[in-house]
Structure 1
Amino acid sequence: MAKKLAVRVDDRLIHGQVVTQWVNVFKAQHIVVIDNNVAKDKMQKSVLKFAAPPDIKVSIFSVDKAVEAWEKNQFGTKNVFVLFRDVNQIAELQEKGVSFEEITIGQMAIINDRKQIYKQVGLSESEAQTLMDIEKTGVKLYFQMQPTDKKESLEIMKKTFPDLH
């Protein structure tokens, strides 16, 4: 079982801010990326592994493989930093029996039908509802771009999407 576990949504996955700030604040020794598309793409997997510091183990799983790894030993015995590209795969993982205590929502590009919710976080109404549904299961969710930023609750989504429930 992981010593410490931090979970974050950031559509850039492993990048400068994750490596220079989040990994250091959390003292991560192992990064787990959970993304169905990346898990199938050798090039993306190579790029992500190259982006991580050399002393940090990187594992890249599909949702199904993440469930297997979680059931085996909850991603190992080190400090683990879990990254998702989007909220739907968190919901998929939760439907398969894996849930986390706390999740930080970081950058999600403001594209297509996404509306700006907080700084560089864009969500569609269905993604916002998915987060509300996850929160109802007892998971603590909040927006936070950098470790030094104040944590913002999901309530700020209701300014943009008043029909969330």
Structure 2
Amino acid sequence: MAKQLAVRVDDRLIHGQVVTQWVKVFKAQKIVVIDNNVAKDKMQKNILKFAAPPEMKVSIFSVDKAVEVWNKNQFGNMNVFVLFKDVKQIKELEEKGLKFNEITIGNMSVVGDRKLIYKSTGFTEEEAQALFDLQKDGVKIYFQTQPTDRKESLDIMTKVFPNLDA
């Protein structure tokens, strides 16, 4: 069972800010990336492993594999930092029985149908609703781009998407 577990959504996954700030704040010893597409792409997996500090253990799982590993040993006996590229896969995990207590929302590029919500974070209305659904299920979720930033409530999304079922 993981000693401590920190969960973050950041579409860049393992990058400079994660390595220099978030890993230190959470005292992470292991990074777990959960993403169905990345788990199938050998080149992306190699790039992410290379981006992590050399002493950091990195595991990259599909949603199904993450559920299997979680049920077996809850990602091991270290301080674990879990990264997601999007919120849909967190919702998929919850539907398969794996639920996290707290999730930090970081950078989500404003592309396609996504609307700017907070700093460099954008969501579609569907993604925003998925976050509110998770929150209704008891998950603490907040925006925080950098560890030094104040935690911001999900409620700011209702300004952009007033029809959300918050």
**Cα separation, 1, equivalents of 2:80 and 2:6:** 6
2:2 and 2:134 map into 1 onto residues whose CA distance is 22
1:136, 1:27 → 2: CA distance?
29
Deviations 1:118-158 (A, max 9, x none): 00000000000000001110000000000000000100000
Q: What amino acid is the match of 2:129? A: Q
Structure 2 regions of 5+ residues with no counterpart?
none
Match of 1:142 in 2: 142
Q: CA deviation at 1:17?
A: 0.1
* Matched residue, 2:115: 115
Counterpart-to-counterpart distance in 1, 2:136 and 2:74: 23
Aligned to 1:36: 36
Q: Following the alignment from structure 1 to structure 2, what is the Cα–Cα distance between the partners of residues 65 and 153?
A: 31
> How many percent identity over aligned positions?
75
State the secondary structure of the residue aligned to 2:99. Answer: coil
Q: 2:82 is matched with which residue?
A: 82
Equivalent residue, structure 1, for 2:100: 100
Compute the TM-score of the two structures, normalised by the length of structure 1: 1.00
Q: Which residue identity lines up with residue 49 of structure 2 in the other structure? A: K
Structure 1 Cα separation of the partners of residues 25 and 87 of structure 2: 23
1:156 aligns with 2:163: no
> SS where residue 133 of structure 1 aligns?
helix
Question: Post-superposition, which runs of at least 4 consecutive aligned residues in structure 1 deviate over 2 A?
Answer: none
Which letter does structure 2 place at the counterpart of 1:136? K
Residue 54 of structure 1 corresponds to which residue in structure 2? Answer: 54
Aligned to 1:8: 8
What secondary structure is seen at the aligned counterpart in 2 of 1:72? helix
Please give the alpha-carbon distance, in whole angstroms, between the structure 1 residues aligned to 2:139 and 2:27: 22
Taking only aligned residues, the RMSD between alpha carbons, in angstroms, comes to 0.3
Aligned residues: 165
Question: CA–CA distance in 2 between the matches of 1:100 and 1:126?
Answer: 20
Deviations, residues 20-78 of structure 1 (Å, cap 9, x unaligned): 00001111000000000000000000000000001110000000000001000100000
Q: Name 2:132's counterpart in structure 1.
A: 132
